[in-house]
A and B are shown apart, each in its own frame.
Chain A
């Protein structure tokens, strides 16, 4: 199905199942511990692999003594770059997954020790003796900023954009802001470590893994091993969180496959938690300079946003300026991205890449500018709304309800009660304050395929290689299929995450829900045609409802039409040029109340509200969960999350879950989410858009702005930890 004209009325609009807050269909398995994650598939005779990571950030292995480890009890094989055979690099990998002799980053995998038991593999790994020759590396973004270069156009578009005459407009603006913000390296730390089981049958490889993008993972595994893609069967039915950290082939899969080949046994590998952070990918740190110029009435006349980030050679920039090209009106504008070479672990996507750190900076800048103008920060944003792409004024947004989000949120949250002057609201020990930020995240369109099969019991089975990383894919796909086919939800079985199924969009970039469901919709429409044909009725007259198809006086059950042989259909959604003709984005507004300890600067979030306009909400229950989860990650980004770089040795020091702090229960209050009643016929037949990343965009800035409102102290360097402002906090006693 090619989607190239805006959707009109279609079966989804019935909203009997779609749009309903149904419980997750995989809920009973997840809550009883019976959903099998990657490491848990019962594969007989599996041996255990333990990964060894490089002890240096850059340089060479000069010797590797495996003798003692090989002789250790239970050891079956040791895989190193020396004995693994020729390996290619995956299309989506920047650094190689098995390092040596050259080392590209700290904890880059250099060996896998395979043994009969987990305990034996772990102990033997400690007996591998490695000598290195340290190379000189670059590890400090601020120090390398000057040597950064203009990157090639990539996923975030051109490195530089310009409209009008920014320099003059900024210079002439009566009210100006010129401020620099920094965001730290952040890590996904999903609860399930990267884990895989690999098993060879001759030259055919089966892997159970935890990967968001089954087709990418399959292709890159085959490419890396130098075997045909058809020989790889990859399964990833349950994924214990990804957030972008499991988009790509990682060392666990490759090493499990190599280990299994060497040991001639199935092998299980889970990355050790303390290895994960430096071994895998992370969200790169940024330095962002924002310049805003406005007339005295508050209208922006100049918007400039520059961002610097670093990555390994061959890597890409963190596209932190992308939202600034689209979010606010302003005739004169420029954005710029520069990329430094850093020898830290590989930078890559983490929930809302580009937009999440970009909004952390931009939305503090907007708060600061509103204050300079003496305007309410909500009103300032309302005044500078645009309904067209500001760089291409003839190109409208498909839907844009930022103004409504801000108004509704302000009203609902009691924004009017906010004391505009900062540091004026104290109750006992606590300084309290309110903060606001816009939310913005683009809606991306990706091809996505599925097949559906109706059997003689009237049960519809959906198969697609789509993944559910906690997003609710199983459920919204079941809802989509049930709605389209006129079946109750319990007559739909959804099977995901298998490379033998049609290739979907996968889970990433908040594109999963809309695109994968649209692909399932396309397959179901094809099946409806087949059913109508078999029933001998005109497809346009056929009504699918309650497990029946009806046309005029003719009424038959789907089960009988399917017959013993069943009926199947496969199709994909693909898109025309609607994304070029219309800018497709999602919008929202975050409101936050914080209390800052007047003595110590400890911050507690007391209330949070997000109002979102993100197209049709396919399942308000799971969509709400996506948003509160993203808001929680936003609280982490605001208050505690940051990888600390040892700039001499070149690694992230706080590489475990005790030292890389993420929010705990006690940090998160009741969170409220309001979805505006929006449908977007330009986005897909489902009229839905993404929502999983929208919730993090702006959330951290809203917290930071609330801290300013509470304490009067502005921090432009995330996370806003008390050490950065305790010396500026007013006297408490």
Chain B
């Protein structure tokens, strides 16, 4: 199983998940919850007696991820981000802060970009979720993914999935006429100017400081209007 320094030219071993796997994974979560209720008797009362240590509540969550239906039974506390990463093994979406302060976990839900760390998986009943894995693969990249490579729009790569998902939805937001903080005339349709693009991408931090190149990558795909 170990990935002893995956060679850079080929994708490392990844989970190839079918819908069936999703169901199995979901079930295994329930199983682990059940195990915990079989705690040794002398320790169980503390758990039962206080609200603090109440056994985790679970709930069903069914949504689509990258076009694939997922039916999970999850601890209600599971965020969408952790459902993706820890239960569906889609680790492309990153946990940078788990507080909605960095944007590394950005995914597209029902066409809109959101921070997947600040929503519960059970709240996404019926949603259509698109993650970085749904945009393209190393062999068949989305135009924005290719542009990020060409323009070197990343360094460490940890914010990259969030930047790309954010950019995909951001371009749609401009098309939809949604204004921004830097839109001068609110009564006009916003244009893809450099300040617009930079303001709209500001929910995605890049500590490596690849902003100038990320701008170039998005601008290239958007048709160079900015």
Contacts and interface: CB of A to CB of B under 8 A. Distances in A.
Are A and B close enough to touch in the complex, i.e. CB under 8 Å? yes
Interface of A: 23-37, 39-44, 67-68, 70-74, 116-120, 123-124, 126-127, 188-193, 206, 235, 237-243, 270, 272-274, 461, 463, 469-472, 474-475, 478, 490, 493-498, 500-501, 621-622, 624-626, 628-633, 656-658, 662-666, 668-671
A241 B98 CA distance: 17
Given A188-B207, A469-B156, A478-B8, 12 more contacts: A23-B152, A30-B157, A33-B92, A71-B46, A119-B78, A120-B56, A192-B96, A193-B97, A206-B2, A235-B2, A657-B101, A665-B199
A241 B94 CA distance: 13
B137 A32 contact: yes
B205 A662 contact: yes
A39 B198 CA distance: 30
- Among A44, A119, A493, chain B packs the most CB atoms within 10 A around the CB of A119
A60 B157 CA distance: 40
Contacts, number: 294
B218 to A, nearest CB: 10
B208 A470 contact: yes
Contacts of B13: 42
B95 A270 contact: yes
Nearest to B149: A27
Interface string B179-218: 0001000000000001101110111111111111111000
Nearest to A47: B32
Contacts of A30: 154, 157, 160
Contact of B32 (A42, A116, A127): A116
B128 to A, nearest CB: 18
A590 to B, nearest CB: 14
B4 A192 contact: no
A34 B14 contact: yes
Contacts of B43: 70-71
Contacts of A501: 5
B37 interface: yes
Given A71-B53, A117-B75, A190-B207, A670 B15 contact: no
Q: B interface, by DSSP: helix, strand, loop or mixed? A: loop
A470 B156 contact: yes
5 residue pairs, one from A and one from B, having the closest CB atoms: A33-B92, A632-B209, A240-B158, A470-B155, A470-B156
Interface of B: 1-9, 11-15, 29, 32-33, 35-37, 39, 43-47, 50, 52-56, 75, 77-78, 82, 85-86, 89-99, 101-102, 104, 131-133, 135-138, 141, 145-146, 148-150, 152, 154-161, 164, 182, 194-195, 197-199, 201-215
B92 to A, nearest CB: 2
25 contacts: A23-B149, A23-B152, A32-B92, A32-B141, A32-B145, A33-B91, A37-B91, A41-B2, A42-B13, A71-B44, A71-B45, A118-B82, A119-B82, A120-B75, A126-B52, A235-B2, A270-B95, A273-B96, A273-B99, A470-B156, A478-B8, A626-B155, A629-B155, A657-B97, A664-B211
A704 B149 CA distance: 33
Contact of B211 (A26, A119, A243, A663): A663
- Among B35, B90, B155, B160, chain A packs the most CB atoms within 10 A around the CB of B155
B155 A471 contact: yes
Nearest to B49: A71
Nearest to A37: B158
A272 B213 CA distance: 29
B211 A497 contact: no
A71 B152 contact: no
